[in-house]
Structure 1
């Protein structure tokens, strides 16, 4: 859902936010961070953005009063999108707001990074985004280096693992009136009560669990199941897989409402495969913390978007491509002993 192949870093401000209940304070930088090493930029992009490649749920900023102007993060974000010259000042206000939201005794202090990104892609659209990230957990790293013809070992304490982002949020410059498009990462620590502060207290999020999101996720999960999982349990030809994908797309194009049991019976049919699909769906929901409802209204726009990545092409060496759009019973696979080669037999009435 989120990709960053074309993304670039704009401005970065770094502050430290402690826990007021532990007598800790916050510390604000006087100006944005200056990157002096060309290697640091790509590493920061990986650290900040790579975790969002698996973020499927889209949220909106909200306020319990329904007045978005009272959501602090929305207010500061809007100020920056309207005038990038206010970026550092807004980052300071975000640090103060996070400090005020960090009152549970189990919340760890850490560095807060506020970043302006250019050209981050979400749902096929390139947008500017503001990222807010917090690093709470530090690690010790060993360093081995040549020394006097041999090697020496040193270490660095309180270092950050760039493959482990603790907390982060991307706020995209779109749908301002709805609370922007927002995706979030939250590696919760400190127990359930401490865990809610990032999403609920600091950001105040509501999930955009709309028909577009539900439709996209359901089609994506089914595609992954057919292409990556079925081979492990059933003997399937590529033509069979393409047929299953075509049948699922036909279901979503013809129906107005998705029903899991109806979909399973009409599209998958095989009881063992149905059970396997439901297990696969449950595993996906747990891994990505994304609930796919058993029933929801189907979004035509989401179906059209997913149809672009649903492959109906059977590629045979470098000689032939067979496009399968309908009845798989009109194509048969066999093996020619004389040529020692596989073949497909295709039945048709007319040539176009």
Structure 2
């Protein structure tokens, strides 16, 4: 989706931001970095841009008051796109803004990089891009080098791996009135309380409501409906839940478009269950202010992403795992009175 085979790095400024809550401070550089080493420039391009090659979800910058100019990142990025001479000055303002929102004790200090790229491609369009990146985690590297008749060894502490971008975003100079096109990376674990500050507090992002997002949302909502909501309304076995998940994934892999009526009949197949799913979907839309159309084009990339988290495994105590990929009628559940234990009976034609 994003390619940079013709891209070039035009400007780069580096600052350091600490955690305001624990009384760390920020340090701003006086001028942009001059990159005269071609190899260093290539390494930086790899470090900054390569992690975005497989990113599919596109966001917009926004503000809760619907006034984009109140979004600090939008304001400074817009100034840079309008006047490149303001690049370094506005990169300093971005660093100050990041420092102001670092109000969680688990937020790590680190270097903030603000970069200006030319000719980065997204969705077939080649554009200027402002990249904002933060490195938080450092590594120790060993160096081996020839020395006399053998080899010597040294090390470098607090070094940055070009293969581990901690946080980053690319803001493309298009769709200005909607808050630009933005793609984002954050390697902080989603259950970490400090994870929200990069996307929600610093950037203030809202996901674009395209076919990728629609597909991703429906599959996610349906998975939660099957795994959480159904238990409140029906007595349903885990094997039946897995069958419902398998049928939904089959639908999305085989169809080009989603239609909620067709989906309900082919996958759920029960009028009461269909109505319950529609109500569950409506509750999600209201809670997260994220409308999902009743029909849309299915995005293959979103299906692949959700397929990785759809569980098709029955875990039985600590002894067995049963992987269910196909016909649910070939597995039966029962109870053995003599052993006082549940059991599954599995039918098959040949063993592999």
Normalising TM by the smaller chain, what interval?
Answer: 0.5 to 0.7
Indicate the residue corresponding to 2:50 in structure 1: 50
For residues 35 and 89 of structure 2, the distance between their equivalents in structure 1, rounded to whole angstroms, comes to 19
Match status 1:298 vs 2:296: yes
Change (3 A) 1:109 1:259: farther
The aligned counterpart of 2:160 is 160
1:248-274 C-alpha deviation (Å, 9 max, x unpaired): 57x44xx77796567889xxxxxxxxx
SS at match of 1:151: strand
Aligned equivalent of 1:75: 75
| Corresponding residue number in structure 2 for 1:60 | 60
Supply the distance in 2 between the matched residues of 1:294 and 1:20 (Cα, whole angstroms).
Answer: 39
User: Cα–Cα, structure 1 residues 263 and 112, in superposed 2: closer, same or farther, change >3 Å?
Assistant: farther
Tell me the distance in 2 between the aligned counterparts of 1:164 and 1:263: 43
How far the C-alpha of 1:9 sits from its partner, in A, is 0.4
1:288 alignment partner in structure 2: none
RMSD: 3.1
The alpha carbon displacement at 1:209 in A equals: 2.7
C-alpha spacing 1:125/1:296, structure 2 compared with 1 (3 Å): farther
Instruction: Tell me the equivalent position of 1:278.
Output: none
Q: Call closer, same or farther: CA 1:216–1:187 in 2, change over 3 Å.
A: closer
Question: Is the Cα contact below 8 Å between 2:207 and 2:213 reproduced in 1?
Answer: no
Cα–Cα, structure 1 residues 260 and 183, in superposed 2: closer, same or farther, change >3 Å?
Answer: farther
Quickly say closer, same or farther: Cα 1:118–1:157, change in 2 above 3 A.
Answer: same
How many residue pairs are counted as aligned between the two chains?
248
Name structure 2 gaps, 5 residues minimum.
219-249, 269-290, 301-352
SS in 2 for 1:26: coil
- CA offset at residue 79 of structure 1? 0.2
Q: Partner residue of 2:113?
A: 113
Mapping 1:53-202, distance limit 5 Å: 53-188=53-188, 192-202=192-202
Is the CA contact (8 Å cut-off) linking 2:142 and 2:156 kept in structure 1?
yes
Q: 1:216 to 1:205 in 2, by over 3 A?
A: closer
- Mapped contact 1:60–1:207 kept (Cα < 8 A): yes
- Distance in 2, matches of 1:79 and 1:297, equals 39
DSSP-derived class of the 1:145 partner: strand
Q: Which residue of 1 aligns with 2:338?
A: none
Contact 1:107 1:190 in 2 (8 A): no
Return the TM-score normalized by structure 2.
0.64
Give the conservation status (yes or no) of the 8 Å contact 1:211–1:297.
Answer: no
Do 2:10 and 2:117's aligned partners in 1 also have CA atoms closer than 8 Å? Answer: yes
Match of 1:229? none
Instruction: For structure 1, list consecutive stretches of 5 or more residues without a partner in the other structure.
Output: 219-243, 266-292, 304-352
Q: TM-score, normalised by structure 1?
A: 0.64
Per the TM alignment, residue 148 of structure 1 is displaced from its structure 2 partner at its CA by 1.4
* Aligned pairs (5 A) from 1:262-273: none
Q: How far off is 1:296 after superposition?
A: 4.9
Misfit runs of 4+, over 2 Å: 189-192, 209-218, 255-265, 293-300
SS of structure 2 residue aligned to 1:21 = helix
Query: Which residues in structure 2 correspond to 1:17-32 (within 5 Å)?
Result: 17-32=17-32
Whole-Å separation in 2 of the counterparts to 1:96 and 1:194: 18
Distance in 2 (alpha carbons) for counterparts of 1:258 and 1:80: 48
